Structure formats: C-alpha cells, structure tokens
Amino acid sequence: MSVFRLGVLGNAEHREMAEVLERVLRSADELGADVALGEATARLAREELGVQGVARLEDAWEGLDVLLTLGGDGTLLSGARRAGPRDVPVVGCNLGRLGFMTAGPSESLERMLGRLVAGEYEIEERLALDVTVVRSGSQPGPPGYYALNDVVVHKSGFARLITLRLWSEGEEIAQYSADGIIVSTPTGSTAYSLSAGGPVLVPTLDALVATPISPHTLAVRPVVIPADGRVTIEVCPHSAETIVTVDGQVGSDLEVGDRVEAGRSERPVRLIRFPDHSFFSVLRRKLRWGDVRPRDR
C-alpha cells in the first residue's frame, strides 16, 4: 500500500499558524502520511517548532496526493494556482474570517486529515482561466496567468472612469465607462463579482459572468456568457492608470490599446469536498441566507 503524500501551504503570518502546523505534523505522523512543506511553513517549522528535515514542497509535486492550505480563501487561491496546472487536488482548512472555499475550520483539522488519508472525500473539478495580456506596442506582455476566481481590469490612482470594450468569441458585447470589469468563473461568482452586483453561479456550471464595476450607465448589468468562448477586454483611449489583477493577488499595469484575453484552461482546479459540505450549505452558513428570526407570537 502506497504512503499518502500531503503537501502543505500556509499563511505564516497568521497568529495560530505554528500551533496548527504542529497539529498537522503530529496528525500526519499518527496517520503514517508523508508531509512536504512550502517555504514559509518549512521555515516556521524549523524556527518555532524545531522540526528539521521535512521535505520541500517544491521538490515533491510529482506524486503528491493532496495539497492542504492553511489560512483563508486567499491562501487557497494561491495554492490552487500552483496545484491546478499540476493536477493536484486542493483542500483548505480555514483560519480566516470567511473561508468560503475551504472545507472546514481548524477545529476539525484532525478529522479532515483522517478523512483525506482514508479517501473519504469527493473531487469537484472547478473551471479555471488562462489569462494573457496582449500589448498594443512592441513591448512583450507579462507571462500568462492562471485564475480560479476572476480576472479584473480596473482603474488605479485617481477616482475617474475608464473605458473598456468587451468581446466574447470575437463578438463585441459592449463598451463600458466604469471603474472596471470583472470576468469571473462560477467559483469566483461569490467573491468580488458578487459584491459588485453579479449573480451567484453554481460552481459546476459551465459559464462565466462579466460584471461591470460601478458603471456610468445604470442600465448596464452583469452578463452570463458561455465558458467555451474566449473573452477579451480592451483598454480604450482616455483610460489612464489601468491594471489587470488575477485572483486579487497577481497582475500588471496596462496601457491604452492593451488587451486582456481569458479562456477556459485545459487544467481545471480539482477542489476537494467532503460529502457533508455542500455548496448551498456553505451559502446558507457563510452568507446567512435564510437567517430570519421567527416573528414573535
């Protein structure tokens, strides 16, 4: 029987991280699992826990069974961008406030690890995006990006509108005067897109949603488009100080005439879900849907 191999990425700045990491290492040892640590968690293990000789995650991707992220949704997104292209399933243990995409809180960490080693989980494939910046001039664009949540083209600097043109599969949808446009996957529909007025998409839905940010024209509304089509956002004239941000964590500056192209990645993110942790149960709990006190009688 092969040994279960667990990769661990964590937010080393979190005040509980040393304690949680110690629990992970102890539980993995009891379960007979091998552990590989990301750079930040490995340093924490050495300096605060006195643990030496733990395998490096950078050397252990091949053959890894699961990547465990310790933190909030941001930590899971960072892990997903690394694990998704490598076809490694990802599961998150929530140490943050919301933890919408994580599979459980730190209180259930040992139970989560036991279920992972026992294979008591399901894998849900989540649509991811390959994102490319095409420069209008001779300068090369940045390396491509991989996104689980969204790609956002938006203004920076002073509070002024920018003008963006949006296409899907070569057909122009509209020209927007707004603070920006969010192109979101179903997974990301409950993140920035939702706060900007976009709809909630079931994560397994094969679609994208383009949500304008504070559009100048109130008639402009989010639009749901097929996931198979390539989406293009062009920066139009009079749009100074524009940037593109991917999953809220990486990105680059844009100039007038630059285009941001996003399309379905051939490598979806394989997100681990436990049978008692459904999408709608998370919606009810995290967004407090249906949280209405009964009328006093």
- Res 118: pLDDT: 93
- Res 296: pLDDT: 46
Q: What is the pLDDT along the chain (297 residues), one digit of tens a residue?
A: 588 999 999 988 888 899 999 999 999 999 999 999 999 999 989 988 988 888 999 999 998 999 999 998 899 999 999 999 999 999 999 886 666 778 888 888 999 999 999 999 999 999 999 999 999 876 777 789 999 999 999 988 767 789 999 999 889 999 999 999 999 999 999 999 999 999 999 998 999 999 999 998 878 899 999 999 899 999 998 777 899 999 999 999 999 999 999 999 999 999 999 887 777 777 776 677 766 555 544
Residue 73 annotated to the active site: yes
- Residue ranges of domains in the chain, CATH in brackets: 5-126+269-286 (3.40.50.10330), 129-264 (2.60.200.30)
Q: Which of 34, 59, 73, 276 is catalytic?
A: 73
- Res 295: pLDDT: 53
Distance, C-alpha 161 to centroid of its chain: 27
- Res 141: pLDDT: 73
- Res 286: pLDDT: 65
